[in-house]
Amino acid sequence: MEKIILITGGTSGIGKATALELMRTDSRVVIGARDIARGEATRAQLHSWSGKDVDVLTGDLASLASVREMADTFRKKYPRLDVLINNAGVYRNKRELSADGFELMFAINHLAPFLLTNLLLDSLKASGQARVLNIAAPSATKLNFDDLQGEKNFNAFNAFGASKMANLLFTFELARRLAGMGVTANAIHPGLVRSTLMSDASFFLRFFLNLVSASAEKAARGIIAVALGDQFANETGKFFSNEKEMKASEYAHDREIQKQLWDVGEKLAMV
């Protein structure tokens, strides 16, 4: 039976490369796209490369209402969800706000996947053996719960690092809450990858990152291994890179912080 796989941020970079590789397996691939035009262009491109079709699900992750519509559309169209890959991410050099008034990196990198995953839990449980993969990074940034939106003191690198820490905290808490329910949750560090993620960074930083970064295709292989590999079927609450477990900071494993962030997410996203 084919697996139904949803990848957010599937129109560029790691998301597109992962979608292409998955289309070469026995999977029904659904990519999340911010708008119809970009989604259709990616659909045509992926079809020309693979000879297979990809489904497109439109939704703006900077809007919680749009995330809800995205999840509702998915639930109506598909009987289950076997793999959810929360890949979409953004970096902004200056403080910007989402449609809901949240700091943009916090909104897109953490709050959107938090809400989407919760809204699709029934679809994941219907699989019987589903996997949630959150694309993260080995961040050591601690969250300032008194200023999560950076209203008092905004620093772009700290805000991005905090959003990546939030990915780890969310993953570990999610894994614990889903224990015994047939759904695993793991975080994946794809490494430094040539993509459009850091397009808003300074020229010198972009130049350096391009020199030391690997291709999106290489990153995709590591993601797909954890998404589909039999050896990862029962792994949960872990952090992987290049198919090997890596150590997250002690802060990321702090259960009180994990729960505190979860409670904040429930309040802000009205889960």
Q: Residue 205's Cα: distance from chain center in Å?
A: 23
Domain CATH number, residue 62: 3.40.50.720
pLDDT band for position 213 (50/70/90)? very low
Give me the chain's average pLDDT, please.
91
Per-residue confidence (pLDDT) for residue 198, from 0 to 100: 46
pLDDT band for position 19 (50/70/90)? very high
162, 153, 159, 175: which is closest to 238 by C-alpha?
Answer: 175
Per-residue confidence (pLDDT) for residue 130, from 0 to 100: 98
pTM to 2 decimals?
0.92
Give yes or no for residue 79 having a pLDDT over 50.
yes
Domain tally, the chain: 1
Query: What is the share, in percent, of the chain residues with pLDDT greater than 70?
Result: 90
pLDDT tens track for 141-191? 999 999 999 999 999 999 999 999 999 999 999 999 999 999 999 999 986
Report helix angle 64-77 to 112-119, nearest 10: 30
Give yes or no for residue 204 having a pLDDT over 50.
no
Reduced to 3 states (helix: H, G, I; strand: E, B; else coil), residue 255 is helix
Q: How many CB atoms lie within 10 A of CB 206?
A: 14
Residues 6+ apart with CB under 8 A from 136: 164, 167, 168, 171, 187, 188, 189, 239
pLDDT band for position 208 (50/70/90)? very low
Domain of 85 in residue numbering reads as: 3-269
214, 88, 256, 221: which is closest to 163 by C-alpha?
Answer: 88
Question: Which element (helix H / strand E) includes 241?
Answer: strand 239-241
Give yes or no for residue 206 having a pLDDT over 60.
no
Per-residue confidence (pLDDT) for residue 211, from 0 to 100: 43
Q: Residue 2's Cα: distance from chain center in Å?
A: 22
Give yes or no for residue 201 having a pLDDT over 70.
no
